[in-house]
Structure 1
Amino acid sequence: MPESPEVQVLAEFLAERLAGRRVDEVDLIEFRSLKTRARPLSSLVGAEVEGAARYGKHVDLQLSAGHLVVTLGRHGWIRWNDAPPGDLEPDSPPALATLAFDDGGVLEATDAGDWVSLGVSVVDAASEVPAIAKLGPDPADESFSRADFDRAVVGRRKQIKAILQEQESLSGIGNAYSDEILHAAKVSPVAHAATLDGRALDRVYDETIGVVRGAIAARRGIPIHELKAAKTAAMRVHGRAGEACPVCGDTIREFRFASTTAEYCPTCQTGGVEL
Protein backbone atom coordinates (compact mmCIF):
# COMPACT_ATOMS: atom_id res chain seq x y z
CA MET A 1 0.00 0.00 0.00
CA PRO A 2 1.45 3.41 -0.95
CA GLU A 3 2.11 5.63 2.08
CA SER A 4 3.05 9.27 2.52
CA PRO A 5 6.87 9.07 2.21
CA GLU A 6 6.83 7.41 -1.20
CA VAL A 7 3.78 9.36 -2.41
CA GLN A 8 5.47 12.62 -1.38
CA VAL A 9 8.53 11.83 -3.50
CA LEU A 10 6.27 10.78 -6.38
CA ALA A 11 4.39 14.10 -6.23
CA GLU A 12 7.67 16.05 -6.12
CA PHE A 13 8.92 14.15 -9.18
CA LEU A 14 5.74 14.92 -11.12
CA ALA A 15 5.83 18.59 -10.14
CA GLU A 16 9.39 18.92 -11.42
CA ARG A 17 9.01 16.75 -14.51
CA LEU A 18 5.66 17.99 -15.79
CA ALA A 19 5.50 21.70 -14.91
CA GLY A 20 4.64 23.63 -18.08
CA ARG A 21 3.87 20.52 -20.14
CA ARG A 22 0.62 20.24 -22.09
CA VAL A 23 -1.70 17.24 -22.13
CA ASP A 24 -2.00 16.01 -25.73
CA GLU A 25 -3.98 12.78 -25.29
CA VAL A 26 -5.78 10.84 -22.59
CA ASP A 27 -6.99 7.27 -22.40
CA LEU A 28 -9.30 5.78 -19.78
CA ILE A 29 -8.75 2.03 -19.96
CA GLU A 30 -10.67 1.00 -16.82
CA PHE A 31 -13.89 2.99 -16.60
CA ARG A 32 -14.50 1.94 -12.98
CA SER A 33 -11.45 3.95 -11.93
CA LEU A 34 -13.04 7.29 -12.96
CA LYS A 35 -14.91 8.75 -9.99
CA THR A 36 -16.19 11.95 -11.64
CA ARG A 37 -18.36 10.94 -14.59
CA ALA A 38 -19.51 14.53 -15.12
CA ARG A 39 -15.88 15.57 -15.62
CA PRO A 40 -14.30 13.12 -18.09
CA LEU A 41 -10.56 12.67 -18.42
CA SER A 42 -10.85 14.10 -21.94
CA SER A 43 -11.64 17.52 -20.44
CA LEU A 44 -7.94 17.80 -19.59
CA VAL A 45 -6.72 17.60 -23.20
CA GLY A 46 -4.90 20.83 -24.02
CA ALA A 47 -4.44 21.77 -20.36
CA GLU A 48 -1.02 22.79 -19.03
CA VAL A 49 0.45 21.32 -15.86
CA GLU A 50 0.99 23.93 -13.15
CA GLY A 51 2.23 21.70 -10.34
CA ALA A 52 1.63 18.61 -8.24
CA ALA A 53 1.00 17.98 -4.56
CA ARG A 54 0.27 15.20 -2.10
CA TYR A 55 -2.70 14.89 0.24
CA GLY A 56 -2.37 11.84 2.46
CA LYS A 57 -1.99 8.98 0.00
CA HIS A 58 -3.46 10.96 -2.92
CA VAL A 59 -1.59 12.74 -5.74
CA ASP A 60 -3.01 16.03 -7.02
CA LEU A 61 -1.87 16.97 -10.52
CA GLN A 62 -2.70 20.66 -10.88
CA LEU A 63 -3.60 21.76 -14.41
CA SER A 64 -4.93 24.89 -16.06
CA ALA A 65 -8.25 23.09 -16.70
CA GLY A 66 -8.65 21.66 -13.20
CA HIS A 67 -7.13 19.08 -10.89
CA LEU A 68 -6.52 15.43 -11.65
CA VAL A 69 -6.52 13.62 -8.32
CA VAL A 70 -5.16 10.08 -8.32
CA THR A 71 -6.29 8.12 -5.29
CA LEU A 72 -3.73 5.34 -5.12
CA GLY A 73 -5.77 3.00 -2.94
CA ARG A 74 -4.30 -0.32 -1.88
CA HIS A 75 -2.36 -1.30 -5.00
CA GLY A 76 -2.17 1.84 -7.14
CA TRP A 77 0.86 3.72 -8.39
CA ILE A 78 1.95 6.09 -11.15
CA ARG A 79 4.35 4.95 -13.84
CA TRP A 80 6.27 7.44 -15.96
CA ASN A 81 7.62 6.81 -19.44
CA ASP A 82 9.70 9.33 -21.34
CA ALA A 83 8.40 7.81 -24.57
CA PRO A 84 5.21 5.97 -25.52
CA PRO A 85 5.37 2.66 -23.61
CA GLY A 86 6.21 -0.50 -25.46
CA ASP A 87 5.82 -4.06 -24.26
CA LEU A 88 5.71 -4.27 -20.48
CA GLU A 89 7.52 -6.75 -18.28
CA PRO A 90 5.33 -9.77 -17.45
CA ASP A 91 4.83 -8.68 -13.82
CA SER A 92 4.15 -5.02 -14.58
CA PRO A 93 0.78 -3.81 -13.28
CA PRO A 94 -1.72 -2.70 -15.94
CA ALA A 95 -2.44 0.96 -16.63
CA LEU A 96 -6.01 2.02 -15.87
CA ALA A 97 -5.64 5.57 -17.24
CA THR A 98 -2.94 7.41 -19.20
CA LEU A 99 -2.01 10.98 -20.06
CA ALA A 100 0.36 11.71 -22.96
CA PHE A 101 2.21 15.05 -22.94
CA ASP A 102 3.55 17.36 -25.62
CA ASP A 103 7.15 16.30 -24.95
CA GLY A 104 6.36 12.65 -25.68
CA GLY A 105 6.21 11.52 -22.06
CA VAL A 106 3.36 9.35 -20.79
CA LEU A 107 1.92 9.16 -17.29
CA GLU A 108 0.20 5.87 -16.47
CA ALA A 109 -2.00 5.33 -13.41
CA THR A 110 -1.60 1.63 -12.58
CA ASP A 111 -3.16 -0.89 -10.23
CA ALA A 112 -1.52 -4.17 -9.23
CA GLY A 113 -4.49 -5.59 -7.33
CA ASP A 114 -7.08 -8.21 -8.21
CA TRP A 115 -9.77 -5.55 -7.76
CA VAL A 116 -9.73 -1.87 -8.72
CA SER A 117 -8.57 0.23 -5.78
CA LEU A 118 -7.12 3.14 -7.77
CA GLY A 119 -9.38 6.08 -8.53
CA VAL A 120 -9.01 9.17 -10.73
CA SER A 121 -11.08 12.33 -10.26
CA VAL A 122 -11.23 15.51 -12.34
CA VAL A 123 -12.24 18.37 -10.04
CA ASP A 124 -11.89 22.13 -9.59
CA ALA A 125 -10.12 21.67 -6.25
CA ALA A 126 -8.58 18.65 -4.53
CA SER A 127 -10.84 19.19 -1.52
CA GLU A 128 -13.82 18.15 -3.67
CA VAL A 129 -12.63 14.56 -3.43
CA PRO A 130 -14.45 13.21 -0.33
CA ALA A 131 -11.49 11.20 0.95
CA ILE A 132 -9.27 14.30 0.85
CA ALA A 133 -11.89 16.49 2.51
CA LYS A 134 -11.94 14.09 5.48
CA LEU A 135 -8.17 13.79 5.96
CA GLY A 136 -6.72 14.44 9.39
CA PRO A 137 -3.49 16.35 10.08
CA ASP A 138 -0.36 15.10 8.33
CA PRO A 139 2.73 14.23 10.43
CA ALA A 140 4.93 15.06 7.43
CA ASP A 141 3.77 18.68 7.54
CA GLU A 142 5.99 21.09 9.48
CA SER A 143 2.83 22.56 11.05
CA PHE A 144 1.91 19.20 12.64
CA SER A 145 1.85 19.71 16.40
CA ARG A 146 1.54 17.77 19.62
CA ALA A 147 -1.96 19.19 19.92
CA ASP A 148 -2.86 17.63 16.55
CA PHE A 149 -1.50 14.29 17.74
CA ASP A 150 -3.28 14.44 21.09
CA ARG A 151 -6.64 15.23 19.47
CA ALA A 152 -6.26 12.16 17.27
CA VAL A 153 -4.96 9.74 19.89
CA VAL A 154 -5.29 10.60 23.57
CA GLY A 155 -8.00 8.83 25.52
CA ARG A 156 -9.37 6.78 22.65
CA ARG A 157 -10.50 3.22 23.34
CA LYS A 158 -9.07 1.93 20.09
CA GLN A 159 -5.87 0.07 19.24
CA ILE A 160 -3.01 2.49 18.61
CA LYS A 161 -2.02 0.79 15.34
CA ALA A 162 -5.55 1.25 14.00
CA ILE A 163 -5.52 4.94 14.97
CA LEU A 164 -2.20 5.54 13.21
CA GLN A 165 -3.71 4.10 10.01
CA GLU A 166 -7.01 5.98 10.32
CA GLN A 167 -6.79 8.65 7.64
CA GLU A 168 -9.40 10.88 9.29
CA SER A 169 -7.18 11.01 12.40
CA LEU A 170 -3.63 11.13 10.97
CA SER A 171 -3.17 11.19 7.23
CA GLY A 172 -0.66 9.31 5.11
CA ILE A 173 0.31 6.40 7.38
CA GLY A 174 -0.55 2.81 6.47
CA ASN A 175 0.20 -0.70 7.64
CA ALA A 176 3.96 -0.65 7.07
CA TYR A 177 4.87 2.66 8.68
CA SER A 178 2.52 2.09 11.62
CA ASP A 179 4.52 -1.08 12.39
CA GLU A 180 7.77 0.86 12.11
CA ILE A 181 6.54 3.70 14.33
CA LEU A 182 5.33 1.40 17.09
CA HIS A 183 8.47 -0.71 17.05
CA ALA A 184 10.64 2.41 17.36
CA ALA A 185 8.35 3.71 20.15
CA LYS A 186 8.40 0.32 21.98
CA VAL A 187 4.60 0.17 22.09
CA SER A 188 2.37 -2.84 21.42
CA PRO A 189 0.28 -2.57 18.23
CA VAL A 190 -2.81 -3.81 20.09
CA ALA A 191 -2.55 -1.44 23.06
CA HIS A 192 -5.53 0.88 23.31
CA ALA A 193 -4.55 4.53 23.15
CA ALA A 194 -6.44 5.21 26.37
CA THR A 195 -4.11 2.84 28.27
CA LEU A 196 -0.86 4.52 27.20
CA ASP A 197 0.89 6.60 29.83
CA GLY A 198 2.52 9.95 29.16
CA ARG A 199 5.95 8.53 28.35
CA ALA A 200 4.52 6.04 25.85
CA LEU A 201 2.50 8.80 24.18
CA ASP A 202 5.62 10.95 23.99
CA ARG A 203 7.48 8.15 22.23
CA VAL A 204 4.67 7.47 19.75
CA TYR A 205 4.44 11.19 18.93
CA ASP A 206 8.19 11.54 18.45
CA GLU A 207 8.48 8.41 16.33
CA THR A 208 5.44 9.25 14.22
CA ILE A 209 7.18 12.43 13.12
CA GLY A 210 10.65 10.92 13.01
CA VAL A 211 9.78 7.80 11.01
CA VAL A 212 7.59 9.58 8.45
CA ARG A 213 9.85 12.57 7.85
CA GLY A 214 12.99 10.43 7.97
CA ALA A 215 11.56 8.14 5.30
CA ILE A 216 10.69 11.08 3.05
CA ALA A 217 14.25 12.39 3.31
CA ALA A 218 15.65 8.91 2.65
CA ARG A 219 13.52 8.37 -0.48
CA ARG A 220 14.33 11.65 -2.20
CA GLY A 221 16.56 11.09 -5.21
CA ILE A 222 15.35 7.52 -5.76
CA PRO A 223 13.67 6.95 -9.17
CA ILE A 224 9.92 6.55 -8.74
CA HIS A 225 9.91 3.04 -10.17
CA GLU A 226 12.32 2.00 -7.40
CA LEU A 227 10.48 3.61 -4.48
CA LYS A 228 8.46 0.54 -3.51
CA ALA A 229 11.58 -1.61 -3.39
CA ALA A 230 13.41 1.05 -1.38
CA LYS A 231 10.55 1.17 1.12
CA THR A 232 10.59 -2.62 1.53
CA ALA A 233 14.35 -2.69 2.00
CA ALA A 234 14.22 -0.01 4.69
CA MET A 235 11.67 -1.77 6.91
CA ARG A 236 12.99 -2.91 10.31
CA VAL A 237 9.99 -5.04 11.39
CA HIS A 238 7.25 -4.76 8.77
CA GLY A 239 7.40 -7.76 6.46
CA ARG A 240 10.21 -9.25 8.58
CA ALA A 241 8.32 -11.96 10.49
CA GLY A 242 10.71 -14.76 11.39
CA GLU A 243 13.79 -12.56 11.18
CA ALA A 244 15.81 -11.16 14.08
CA CYS A 245 14.83 -7.83 15.60
CA PRO A 246 17.56 -5.32 14.70
CA VAL A 247 17.40 -3.88 18.22
CA CYS A 248 17.33 -6.86 20.58
CA GLY A 249 17.74 -9.96 18.41
CA ASP A 250 14.41 -11.55 19.36
CA THR A 251 12.36 -13.08 16.54
CA ILE A 252 9.90 -10.72 14.89
CA ARG A 253 6.35 -12.09 15.02
CA GLU A 254 3.29 -11.53 12.88
CA PHE A 255 -0.12 -10.95 14.39
CA ARG A 256 -3.25 -11.16 12.24
CA PHE A 257 -6.42 -9.35 13.16
CA ALA A 258 -9.49 -8.21 11.22
CA SER A 259 -8.33 -7.76 7.61
CA THR A 260 -4.78 -6.71 8.38
CA THR A 261 -1.55 -7.82 10.04
CA ALA A 262 1.03 -6.39 12.40
CA GLU A 263 4.68 -7.27 12.66
CA TYR A 264 6.22 -6.62 16.07
CA CYS A 265 9.01 -7.64 18.45
CA PRO A 266 7.80 -9.28 21.69
CA THR A 267 10.87 -8.17 23.66
CA CYS A 268 10.78 -4.56 22.50
CA GLN A 269 7.02 -4.04 22.42
CA THR A 270 4.91 -6.50 24.41
CA GLY A 271 6.97 -7.45 27.45
CA GLY A 272 7.87 -10.80 25.91
CA VAL A 273 4.23 -11.80 25.33
CA GLU A 274 3.30 -13.19 21.90
CA LEU A 275 0.07 -11.78 20.52
Structure 2
Amino acid sequence: MPELPEVEALAGYLRQRAVARRVDRVEVASINALKTYDPSPSAVAGRAVVDARRHGKFLDVVFGDGPDEGDEPDRCDETDRGELHLVVHLARAGWLHYRESFPNATPLRPGKGPIALRVRLDDGSGFDLTEAGTQKKLAAYLVGDPAAVPGVAKLGPDALAADLPTFAERLRSRRGQVKGVLTDQSVLAGVGNAYSDEILHAARLSPFALTDRLTDDQVAALHEATRRVLGDAVSRSVGHKAAELKGEKRSGLNVHARTGLPCPACGDTVREVSFADSSLQYCPGCQTGGKPLADRRLSRIVR
Protein backbone atom coordinates (compact mmCIF):
# COMPACT_ATOMS: atom_id res chain seq x y z
CA MET A 1 0.00 0.00 0.00
CA PRO A 2 1.41 3.42 -0.88
CA GLU A 3 2.01 5.40 2.29
CA LEU A 4 3.12 8.94 3.07
CA PRO A 5 6.59 8.79 1.43
CA GLU A 6 5.38 7.20 -1.81
CA VAL A 7 2.37 9.52 -2.16
CA GLU A 8 4.64 12.51 -1.47
CA ALA A 9 6.96 11.28 -4.22
CA LEU A 10 4.08 10.73 -6.65
CA ALA A 11 2.85 14.27 -5.98
CA GLY A 12 6.36 15.60 -6.54
CA TYR A 13 6.71 13.73 -9.81
CA LEU A 14 3.38 15.05 -11.07
CA ARG A 15 4.39 18.59 -10.13
CA GLN A 16 7.56 18.15 -12.16
CA ARG A 17 6.05 16.42 -15.18
CA ALA A 18 2.40 17.37 -15.49
CA VAL A 19 1.97 20.91 -14.10
CA ALA A 20 0.97 23.43 -16.81
CA ARG A 21 -0.19 20.67 -19.18
CA ARG A 22 -3.84 20.87 -20.11
CA VAL A 23 -6.16 17.89 -19.86
CA ASP A 24 -7.32 16.41 -23.13
CA ARG A 25 -9.83 14.12 -21.43
CA VAL A 26 -10.44 11.90 -18.43
CA GLU A 27 -11.61 8.34 -19.05
CA VAL A 28 -13.20 6.18 -16.37
CA ALA A 29 -12.88 2.44 -16.86
CA SER A 30 -14.04 1.37 -13.40
CA ILE A 31 -17.30 3.00 -12.42
CA ASN A 32 -16.90 1.73 -8.85
CA ALA A 33 -13.59 3.58 -8.48
CA LEU A 34 -15.12 7.02 -9.08
CA LYS A 35 -17.04 7.91 -5.93
CA THR A 36 -18.50 11.22 -7.14
CA TYR A 37 -20.74 12.12 -10.08
CA ASP A 38 -20.99 15.93 -9.88
CA PRO A 39 -18.95 17.45 -11.40
CA SER A 40 -18.51 14.84 -14.09
CA PRO A 41 -15.07 13.83 -15.40
CA SER A 42 -15.79 15.83 -18.57
CA ALA A 43 -15.56 19.01 -16.47
CA VAL A 44 -11.78 18.55 -16.28
CA ALA A 45 -11.24 18.64 -20.07
CA GLY A 46 -9.40 21.78 -21.13
CA ARG A 47 -8.22 22.61 -17.63
CA ALA A 48 -4.55 22.73 -16.69
CA VAL A 49 -2.81 20.70 -14.03
CA VAL A 50 -1.74 23.42 -11.59
CA ASP A 51 -0.50 21.40 -8.63
CA ALA A 52 -0.24 17.99 -6.99
CA ARG A 53 -0.53 17.65 -3.23
CA ARG A 54 -0.76 15.07 -0.48
CA HIS A 55 -3.25 14.72 2.36
CA GLY A 56 -2.06 11.81 4.52
CA LYS A 57 -2.10 8.88 2.10
CA PHE A 58 -4.44 10.67 -0.34
CA LEU A 59 -3.03 12.06 -3.60
CA ASP A 60 -4.61 15.35 -4.76
CA VAL A 61 -4.20 16.39 -8.41
CA VAL A 62 -5.37 19.99 -8.82
CA PHE A 63 -6.89 21.31 -12.03
CA GLY A 64 -7.42 25.01 -12.68
CA ASP A 65 -7.81 27.37 -15.60
CA GLY A 66 -4.05 27.31 -15.93
CA PRO A 67 -1.47 30.04 -16.67
CA ASP A 68 -2.04 32.65 -19.31
CA GLU A 69 0.47 32.99 -22.11
CA GLY A 70 3.72 34.39 -20.73
CA ASP A 71 3.12 33.26 -17.16
CA GLU A 72 5.59 31.04 -15.36
CA PRO A 73 4.66 27.45 -16.38
CA ASP A 74 4.64 26.22 -12.77
CA ARG A 75 2.90 29.26 -11.28
CA CYS A 76 -0.84 29.91 -11.55
CA ASP A 77 -2.47 32.66 -9.55
CA GLU A 78 -4.96 31.19 -7.07
CA THR A 79 -7.74 33.46 -8.33
CA ASP A 80 -7.30 32.20 -11.89
CA ARG A 81 -7.75 28.52 -11.11
CA GLY A 82 -11.41 27.71 -10.58
CA GLU A 83 -9.96 24.61 -9.00
CA LEU A 84 -11.15 21.04 -9.26
CA HIS A 85 -9.38 18.31 -7.31
CA LEU A 86 -8.95 14.68 -8.31
CA VAL A 87 -8.38 13.14 -4.88
CA VAL A 88 -7.24 9.52 -4.95
CA HIS A 89 -6.74 6.86 -2.31
CA LEU A 90 -4.72 4.07 -3.92
CA ALA A 91 -5.70 1.50 -1.26
CA ARG A 92 -3.69 -1.72 -0.97
CA ALA A 93 -3.15 -2.61 -4.61
CA GLY A 94 -3.54 0.68 -6.45
CA TRP A 95 -0.82 2.62 -8.25
CA LEU A 96 -0.21 5.56 -10.56
CA HIS A 97 1.56 4.89 -13.85
CA TYR A 98 2.79 7.90 -15.82
CA ARG A 99 2.85 7.40 -19.58
CA GLU A 100 4.95 9.53 -21.90
CA SER A 101 2.55 8.45 -24.63
CA PHE A 102 -0.41 6.14 -25.07
CA PRO A 103 -0.47 3.42 -27.75
CA ASN A 104 -3.64 4.77 -29.33
CA ALA A 105 -6.45 7.27 -28.90
CA THR A 106 -9.15 4.65 -28.43
CA PRO A 107 -11.07 5.35 -25.21
CA LEU A 108 -10.85 2.82 -22.42
CA ARG A 109 -13.48 0.11 -22.31
CA PRO A 110 -15.25 -0.04 -18.93
CA GLY A 111 -14.51 -3.15 -16.91
CA LYS A 112 -11.54 -4.26 -19.02
CA GLY A 113 -8.16 -4.74 -17.36
CA PRO A 114 -6.56 -3.18 -14.29
CA ILE A 115 -6.93 0.47 -15.32
CA ALA A 116 -9.51 2.33 -13.24
CA LEU A 117 -9.06 5.85 -14.61
CA ARG A 118 -6.91 7.56 -17.24
CA VAL A 119 -5.99 11.23 -17.55
CA ARG A 120 -4.75 12.20 -21.02
CA LEU A 121 -2.79 15.47 -21.34
CA ASP A 122 -2.33 17.77 -24.30
CA ASP A 123 1.27 16.73 -25.04
CA GLY A 124 0.25 13.08 -25.51
CA SER A 125 1.38 12.03 -22.03
CA GLY A 126 -0.77 11.34 -18.99
CA PHE A 127 -1.30 8.85 -16.22
CA ASP A 128 -3.30 5.75 -15.39
CA LEU A 129 -4.67 4.83 -12.00
CA THR A 130 -4.55 1.04 -11.80
CA GLU A 131 -5.50 -1.62 -9.28
CA ALA A 132 -4.37 -5.23 -9.21
CA GLY A 133 -6.24 -8.17 -7.70
CA THR A 134 -9.91 -8.87 -7.18
CA GLN A 135 -10.56 -6.62 -4.18
CA LYS A 136 -11.21 -3.26 -5.82
CA LYS A 137 -10.83 -0.56 -3.18
CA LEU A 138 -9.11 2.25 -5.10
CA ALA A 139 -11.21 5.38 -4.66
CA ALA A 140 -11.19 8.57 -6.74
CA TYR A 141 -13.17 11.72 -6.02
CA LEU A 142 -13.61 14.78 -8.27
CA VAL A 143 -14.44 17.67 -5.96
CA GLY A 144 -14.12 21.42 -5.61
CA ASP A 145 -12.63 21.09 -2.12
CA PRO A 146 -10.57 18.14 -0.81
CA ALA A 147 -12.38 18.48 2.53
CA ALA A 148 -15.49 17.18 0.76
CA VAL A 149 -13.82 13.75 0.63
CA PRO A 150 -14.89 11.89 3.80
CA GLY A 151 -11.51 10.27 4.35
CA VAL A 152 -9.66 13.58 4.02
CA ALA A 153 -12.08 15.37 6.34
CA LYS A 154 -11.37 12.80 9.09
CA LEU A 155 -7.57 12.94 8.88
CA GLY A 156 -5.57 13.73 11.98
CA PRO A 157 -2.38 15.80 11.93
CA ASP A 158 0.23 14.78 9.38
CA ALA A 159 2.56 12.24 10.97
CA LEU A 160 5.67 13.86 9.51
CA ALA A 161 4.71 17.39 10.56
CA ALA A 162 3.39 16.79 14.10
CA ASP A 163 5.60 18.18 16.87
CA LEU A 164 6.18 16.17 20.04
CA PRO A 165 3.32 17.69 22.12
CA THR A 166 0.84 17.16 19.26
CA PHE A 167 2.15 13.66 18.60
CA ALA A 168 1.89 12.70 22.28
CA GLU A 169 -1.61 14.14 22.64
CA ARG A 170 -2.87 12.37 19.53
CA LEU A 171 -1.25 9.04 20.44
CA ARG A 172 -2.73 9.07 23.94
CA SER A 173 -6.15 10.17 22.70
CA ARG A 174 -6.83 6.58 21.62
CA ARG A 175 -6.21 3.70 24.00
CA GLY A 176 -5.07 0.60 22.18
CA GLN A 177 -2.14 -1.35 20.82
CA VAL A 178 0.40 1.14 19.51
CA LYS A 179 0.59 -0.50 16.08
CA GLY A 180 -3.12 0.01 15.50
CA VAL A 181 -3.21 3.53 16.91
CA LEU A 182 -0.19 4.61 14.85
CA THR A 183 -1.94 3.49 11.66
CA ASP A 184 -5.31 5.07 12.55
CA GLN A 185 -5.56 7.92 10.04
CA SER A 186 -7.85 9.93 12.31
CA VAL A 187 -5.10 9.95 14.95
CA LEU A 188 -2.09 10.65 12.72
CA ALA A 189 -2.22 10.81 8.93
CA GLY A 190 0.11 9.01 6.56
CA VAL A 191 1.45 5.90 8.32
CA GLY A 192 0.37 2.48 7.11
CA ASN A 193 1.31 -1.12 7.77
CA ALA A 194 4.84 -1.11 6.40
CA TYR A 195 6.18 2.10 7.92
CA SER A 196 4.53 1.44 11.27
CA ASP A 197 6.58 -1.78 11.47
CA GLU A 198 9.71 0.20 10.63
CA ILE A 199 8.92 3.00 13.10
CA LEU A 200 8.25 0.60 15.97
CA HIS A 201 11.46 -1.27 15.21
CA ALA A 202 13.43 1.99 15.22
CA ALA A 203 11.79 3.01 18.51
CA ARG A 204 12.41 -0.48 20.00
CA LEU A 205 8.75 -0.90 20.95
CA SER A 206 6.51 -3.94 20.79
CA PRO A 207 3.68 -3.48 18.28
CA PHE A 208 1.30 -4.65 21.02
CA ALA A 209 2.42 -2.12 23.65
CA LEU A 210 -0.58 -0.18 24.94
CA THR A 211 -0.60 3.55 24.30
CA ASP A 212 -1.80 4.44 27.82
CA ARG A 213 1.15 2.55 29.33
CA LEU A 214 3.88 4.24 27.30
CA THR A 215 6.28 6.38 29.29
CA ASP A 216 7.16 9.91 28.22
CA ASP A 217 10.56 8.65 27.08
CA GLN A 218 8.94 5.94 24.96
CA VAL A 219 6.57 8.44 23.35
CA ALA A 220 9.50 10.75 22.63
CA ALA A 221 11.44 7.85 21.09
CA LEU A 222 8.42 6.92 18.97
CA HIS A 223 8.02 10.52 17.78
CA GLU A 224 11.69 10.73 16.85
CA ALA A 225 11.53 7.38 15.04
CA THR A 226 8.42 8.46 13.14
CA ARG A 227 10.05 11.64 11.87
CA ARG A 228 13.32 9.87 11.06
CA VAL A 229 11.85 6.83 9.29
CA LEU A 230 9.35 8.84 7.27
CA GLY A 231 11.80 11.64 6.57
CA ASP A 232 14.45 9.22 5.32
CA ALA A 233 11.88 7.43 3.15
CA VAL A 234 10.71 10.71 1.63
CA SER A 235 14.32 11.70 0.91
CA ARG A 236 14.94 8.38 -0.83
CA SER A 237 11.69 8.48 -2.78
CA VAL A 238 11.27 12.04 -4.00
CA GLY A 239 12.82 12.52 -7.41
CA HIS A 240 12.19 8.97 -8.55
CA LYS A 241 9.76 8.13 -11.31
CA ALA A 242 6.54 6.43 -10.28
CA ALA A 243 7.73 3.12 -11.73
CA GLU A 244 10.78 3.12 -9.42
CA LEU A 245 9.08 3.87 -6.12
CA LYS A 246 8.03 0.36 -5.09
CA GLY A 247 11.57 -0.95 -5.45
CA GLU A 248 12.94 2.05 -3.57
CA LYS A 249 10.52 1.41 -0.70
CA ARG A 250 11.52 -2.25 -0.41
CA SER A 251 15.21 -1.39 -0.39
CA GLY A 252 14.86 0.71 2.75
CA LEU A 253 12.93 -1.74 4.94
CA ASN A 254 14.57 -3.39 7.96
CA VAL A 255 11.78 -5.65 9.28
CA HIS A 256 8.63 -5.27 7.20
CA ALA A 257 8.25 -8.09 4.65
CA ARG A 258 11.52 -9.62 5.92
CA THR A 259 10.17 -12.56 7.94
CA GLY A 260 12.88 -15.16 8.60
CA LEU A 261 15.75 -12.85 7.72
CA PRO A 262 18.28 -11.50 10.25
CA CYS A 263 17.55 -8.13 11.82
CA PRO A 264 20.13 -5.65 10.49
CA ALA A 265 20.37 -4.04 13.95
CA CYS A 266 20.90 -7.07 16.26
CA GLY A 267 20.98 -10.19 14.06
CA ASP A 268 17.94 -11.84 15.63
CA THR A 269 15.43 -13.44 13.26
CA VAL A 270 12.61 -11.17 12.09
CA ARG A 271 9.25 -12.69 13.00
CA GLU A 272 5.67 -12.24 11.89
CA VAL A 273 2.22 -12.06 13.44
CA SER A 274 -0.58 -12.84 10.98
CA PHE A 275 -4.16 -11.63 11.12
CA ALA A 276 -7.14 -12.35 8.88
CA ASP A 277 -6.19 -9.90 6.13
CA SER A 278 -2.83 -8.45 7.17
CA SER A 279 0.38 -9.18 9.03
CA LEU A 280 3.10 -7.37 10.92
CA GLN A 281 6.80 -8.01 11.25
CA TYR A 282 9.08 -7.26 14.21
CA CYS A 283 12.40 -8.18 15.77
CA PRO A 284 12.19 -9.93 19.16
CA GLY A 285 15.74 -8.90 20.05
CA CYS A 286 15.09 -5.20 19.46
CA GLN A 287 11.44 -4.90 20.45
CA THR A 288 10.20 -7.56 22.89
CA GLY A 289 13.14 -8.48 25.06
CA GLY A 290 13.90 -11.54 22.95
CA LYS A 291 10.45 -13.08 23.46
CA PRO A 292 8.33 -13.92 20.40
CA LEU A 293 4.77 -12.61 20.26
CA ALA A 294 1.92 -15.08 20.05
CA ASP A 295 0.63 -15.24 16.49
CA ARG A 296 -3.00 -14.50 17.23
CA ARG A 297 -4.68 -11.27 18.18
CA LEU A 298 -6.50 -12.35 21.35
CA SER A 299 -3.66 -14.32 22.95
CA ARG A 300 -1.77 -13.32 26.02
CA ILE A 301 1.03 -11.31 24.44
CA VAL A 302 4.33 -9.74 25.33
CA ARG A 303 4.13 -6.04 26.00
TM category (shorter chain) comes to: over 0.9
Q: 2:175 and 2:277 mapped to 1: Cα distance?
A: 19
Structure 1 vs Structure 2 CA RMSD: 1.4
| Offset from partner CA, 1:207-249 (integer Å, 9 cap, x none) | 0111111110111222211101110121000000100010110
Distance 1:98 1:133, change over 3 A: same
**Which residue in the other structure is 1:96 paired with?**
116
1:203 aligns with 2:221: yes
Distance 1:206 1:19, change over 3 A: same
Q: Quick one: which amino acid aligns to residue 21 of structure 1?
A: R
1:258 deviates by 5.1
Regions of 4+ moved over 2 Å? 154-157, 257-260
1:62 aligns with 2:80: no
Q: 1:119 aligns with which of 139, 142, 157?
A: 139
| Offset from partner CA, 1:100-152 (integer Å, 9 cap, x none) | 110100210111231211111110011111100111111223xx211221121
Q: Superposition pairs for residues 28-177 of structure 1, below 5 Å? A: 28-64=28-64, 65-85=83-103, 94-141=114-161, 144-154=162-172, 156-177=174-195
How many aligned positions are there?
A: 267
**Partner of 1:50: helix, strand, or coil?**
strand
Q: 1:12 and 1:71 mapped to 2: Cα distance?
A: 16
**Which residue in the other structure is 1:238 paired with?**
256
**Which residue in the other structure is 1:90 paired with?**
none
Q: Quick one: which amino acid aligns to residue 120 of structure 1?
A: A
Structure 2 gap ranges (5+): 65-82, 105-112, 294-303
Q: Quick one: which amino acid aligns to residue 130 of structure 2?
A: T
| Offset from partner CA, 1:245-266 (integer Å, 9 cap, x none) | 1011010000123532110011
Distance 1:182 1:85, change over 3 A: farther
User: TM-score of the superposition, structure 2-length normalised?
Assistant: 0.85
Structure 1 gap ranges (5+): 87-92
Say if 1:74 and 1:113, in contact at 8 Å, map to a contact too: no
Distance 1:20 1:156, change over 3 A: closer
Higher Rg? 2
Say if 1:68 and 1:123, in contact at 8 Å, map to a contact too: yes
1:38 deviates by 2.3
Q: 2:256 and 2:30 mapped to 1: Cα distance?
A: 32
